[in-house]
Chain A
Amino acid sequence: MATAAATTSGKRPHGAGPDGVTVTLLTVAAFLATLALLASQMRASPARPAHRVVVVRRVYETRVVETVVGGAGGSSVTQSVSGTPATALAPVPTTRSS
């Protein structure tokens, strides 16, 4: 009868693990610890925008040289394509006798 009375009183038997209150307290403590850790990290880098690295690539010079020898009319072709001022790359045009 004594055993049956102990069981019906709601007490957990010894060795069955932490009770609900303990679990709750531990969970709250872990949450607060995590929160404190995050807060300390945010204090270490106050309100700065995220540092983003932007790579801007500009092609300043693209030079294509194509030579056709012995083509139609015996002509040769040389192409130069540039993204910078022509005068910076190629010789200045010249007026001359021809």
Chain B
Amino acid sequence: MGPHLDYTFHAMGSEVRVLIGPRLRRTEPSPLNAADRERRFVLEFARRLSRFEPSSELSALNRDPRAVVPASQLLRAAVRAGLWAAERTGGLVEPTLVRALERAGYATSLDGAPPASLREALAAAPARYPARPDPRSRWRDVTVDDEAGTIVRPPGVLLDTGGTGKGLCADAVACRLAGYTRFLVDCGGDIAVGGVGPQLEPYEIDVEHPLTGEVIGRIKLDRGGVATSGVNVRIWQRPDGAYAHHLLDPSTGRPAWTGLIGVTAIAGSALEAETLSKLARLVGPDAARRVLADRGGVIVQDSGEVELVGSLVCRMTAPARLLVAS
């Protein structure tokens, strides 16, 4: 595979990892300097788009009483990505669920907080059913005007770009690394791959089981993105004893228990993979297979059973039907 720089840091509540191969032109900075540059970019990306930071651009947008709000290119891109995901998923993955997230208990960052037990949460969870979009949701009233440099939305509609943020960030960094022979950008498990190198020798990417943490398969990816949506990390127990997680059913505003605890999707970009993995997890097992049929993916049911979907080139490293001991 040749020389590679492997660079890891913490941002966006997750581990971010960048692999960079040799540069294509001498004018490009060295891989180490490029990685340093991208670390600054990611930290800036996270700082400006955090809904937990009162000084962030996103928080300023959500506080602004005007309907038309001037916004930076980065904020416009992030909101546009959220709207794209909402359109792509028919409103299931949408960026206007801030108040519902806060009611569910996700009002502050969970970075560093130990997650609640997924097994206990599954045992206490209500009946499983697919999530549905909310026909009254206001995301369709939000528009991004790049010519005017503004975001237009009804005052009081709060936006959260976190649902698509890591995928977008991975894609953005990947674009910035176009001057290198090969690169992989991993933003908390949402991964973008690019360059000419992987098309000859693809990257291998492990898939982690959400219950056991063990590697259940290895995917070869030559370009595009792969992402996993699960409920094993951002999960907590509320004061009333109920368990909650961050993937909400838009129709109820409550955490979605759909029968799936994890979905891995492959797509043309990390943003699309993140969107598809969330969509597949929200629609439940049957529809998830259809969502993933095109590029392939992995679904993990509440029972812990693992299933490969589509024409996924994946070498299983654990029994495909992994049953979880009680």
Contacts and interface: CB of A to CB of B under 8 A. Distances in A.
B2 A85 contact: yes
A18 B194 CA distance: 90
A95 B189 contact: yes
Contact of A92 (B204, B228, B231, B264): B204
Interface stretch (B8-16, B89-97, B129-137, B236-244): B8-16
B204 A76 contact: no
Contact of A96 (B6, B13, B35, B230): B230
B312 interface: no
Given A83-B3, A93-B203, A98 B8 contact: no
A73 interface: yes
A45 interface: no
Contacts of A89: 6
Contact of B6 (A72, A81, A98): A81
Interface size class on chain B is 35 or more
A96 B189 CA distance: 5
A81 B191 CA distance: 20
Contacts, number: 110
Interface string B26-69: 00000110010001000100110000000000000000000000
A96 to B, nearest CB: 4
Nearest to B15: A98
Interface size class on chain A is 20 to 34
A32 B7 CA distance: 71
Contacts of A82: 3-6
Contacts of B219: 95
Interface stretch (B75-83, B119-127, B206-214): B206-214
B205 interface: yes
A83 B166 CA distance: 28
A96 B208 contact: yes
B34 to A, nearest CB: 12
Nearest to A60: B3
A96 B300 CA distance: 12
A97 interface: yes
A3 interface: no
A75 B6 contact: no
A77 B210 contact: no
Nearest to B30: A81
Contact of A78 (B2, B9, B14, B227): B9
A96 B1 CA distance: 24
A76 B190 CA distance: 20
B6 A80 contact: yes
Nearest to A98: B188
Nearest to A90: B6
A73 B8 contact: no
28 contacts: A73-B11, A75-B9, A75-B10, A75-B11, A75-B43, A78-B9, A79-B7, A81-B5, A86-B4, A87-B1, A89-B6, A90-B6, A92-B218, A93-B17, A93-B184, A94-B186, A94-B206, A95-B191, A95-B206, A95-B208, A95-B219, A95-B228, A96-B208, A96-B228, A97-B210, A97-B232, A98-B14, A98-B188
Closest 5 CB pairs of A and B: A97-B230, A98-B188, A86-B4, A85-B1, A96-B189
